[in-house]
Amino acid sequence: MKRRSGTITGDPGGSNWVERTAARTMLRAVRFNDEDFAKPLVALAVPYTNGTPCNDHIRALGDLLQAELEEAGAKVIVFGTPVVSDGISMGTEAMKYSLVSREVIADAIELMTEGYQVDAVVTLSGCDKTIPAALMPIARNDLVGLTLYGGSIRPGHHGGRDLNIVSAFEGIGAHSAGKIDANELHQIECHACPGAGSCGGMYTANTMAAAIEALGMSVPGASSNMAVEADNQLSKDKQGDLRRTATILMMLLKSGISARQIMTRNAFANALTLVWALGGSTNAVLHLLALAREAEVSLTLQEMAELTAKVPLLGNFKPYGRYLMNDLQPLGGIPVVMKHLLDNGLLHGDCLTVSGRTLAENLADAPDLPAGQDVVFPLTAPYAPAGKHIRVLFGNLAPEGCVLKKSGKDLSTMRGPARVFEREEEAMQAILSGRIKPGDIVVIRYEGPKGGPGMREMLSPSAALMGAGLGDSVALLTDGRFSGGTHGIMIGHISPEAQVGGPLALVAEGDLIEINLDDETLNLLVEDAELTRRRAGWRAPAANDRRGVLAKYARLVSSASTGAVTC
């Protein structure tokens, strides 16, 4: 099982034992002993911070997992990574660092796995970007390893209803519209997030955790287990996930099963199908494109659209629906949904998973979708038919594509005047001051991967629209992206982005824009000659960040249509 680490520690009795003496000397200072040098070396990424509930419990999980791995026969090197909270940074300059952190975390994990030539790796995750980032380097270098999600937060309670973080964002809009008073907003603030765990709806964290389980790269059932019990102590289910993760990692080491044997094109098709069926976040599009690139699996926006064209919306989850992940878990969790999809021919059951078994074998003992509940609808009577959730559009405003989130809404065609804003904050003030009217199409540009830089999420303006009662009558278009907590008529990831001269840069206040879902197009209804005239006068705005991580990111990052990756 000591596949690579002998190059660092030396192989006992091997030709490199003497020359690696100095390395072992330093390792002995951090409590390695003679027996440890014969054990497989395992990297354990623990993205802990007390700066967000999503990762507040991750250090405790890491301590327990280290003990489980060492009990199973490994020697573990533990390290941390950055964590940027989307919910806390939302609507500020700090949000520019969120998507950037995905790349930094992935690179940090690669630095540790390759810098120590470990034999295998386990990565923990919590907040949104830590989840794809935890898997990207495993795929990039075809490592033996797997990832484990820290689990979902429990709902808060106030006034006889369940609350979550989006309750607070929408409360801001409701307060500005005069629908709730300051005291009610304060009560929401104080009760929405009761303890540790990632945001509870089918937002980005739960979406990506479920997608990675469908990819086969985490232990079956782990994505829907709660982070903590009602007393805010680690849940028994999550502790069980730790034990299963340690057992599975040692099996993977013995068998030599590596990431790319699991992360095949059919595995990505499974992940996409589950995301569409659950009603998941549009961020999954960005992250699955990035993961496919790391795994060297060909996958485009157009292919995503084709793979999911027949997948109905089954999940009745927030932000658009009624329920949270804690409502699915007692029914059997994500495996229940996957089994229902598999039994109806929508998943590839022969895909290998980290358990060493196929997806179908993992799901053989999962319960059937229960009758008499409305958390997840059956395929025979879905929450909404195929084509009613995430749609990929092209057109003269998005030649490389964009992503629309419908969340079950009946929308075929919408045409309206552009209300143009150069950054998120300008649009937010217009919404809160009542300057946006029904029928408007809000355009927020220069928020793309390069233009932001960092491709901020637009949860604050989208939630403000919902809170003001404009969610069904105002569309929001951006080259930025949307939080998994977003719902309404939202189109993001418009590519090419404005900063590189994409057509979004040419939109003028009052221009007519048409969203046509029958043709799957997003078009600017302006004559070509006028667009040519505007382009001749257009110049890219000067970069705001000339040094530091944002400047590096802006120079390296690809289009959102290819996952906004830097490698």
Tell me which residues are annotated as active site.
Answer: 483
Question: 151 — alpha (psi -120 to 50), left (phi > 0) or beta?
Answer: left
**Residue 26: CB partners within 8 Å, gap ≥ 6?**
none
* 3-class secondary structure, 216: coil
User: What is the rounded CA–CA span in Å between residue 315 and residue 325?
Assistant: 10
Number of H helices, E strands in the chain: 21, 14
Cβ count near 529 (within 10 Å): 8
Query: Which residues, listed in sequence order, are joined to residue 489 by a DSSP beta bridge?
Result: 475
The DSSP secondary structure of 24-48, one letter per residue, reads HHHHHTTT--GGGGGSPEEEEE---
User: What is the rounded CA–CA span in Å between residue 194 and residue 459?
Assistant: 21
* 3-class secondary structure, 174: helix
Look at strands 41-45 and 120-125 and give their pairing: parallel
Q: Are 500 and 467 in contact (CB under 8 A)?
A: no
φ/ψ (deg, to 5) at 121? -145, 145
Sole residue written with tokens 């980290």 = 354
Angle, CA 456 vertex, CA 505 and CA 416 arms, to 5°: 45
* 3-class secondary structure, 440: coil
Sole residue written with tokens 């969120």 = 98
Nearest to 493 by CA among 290, 338, 335, 333: 290
HSE at residue 172, side-chain half, CA atoms within 13 A, is: 18
Q: Are 80 and 108 in contact (CB under 8 A)?
A: no
Sole residue written with tokens 């209804």 = 525
Pull the structure tokens for residue 453. 């830089």
**In a 10 Å sphere around its CB, with 0-12 CB exposed, 13-18 middle and 19+ buried, how is residue 31 labelled?**
exposed
Pull the structure tokens for residue 50. 């007390």
* 3-class secondary structure, 368: coil
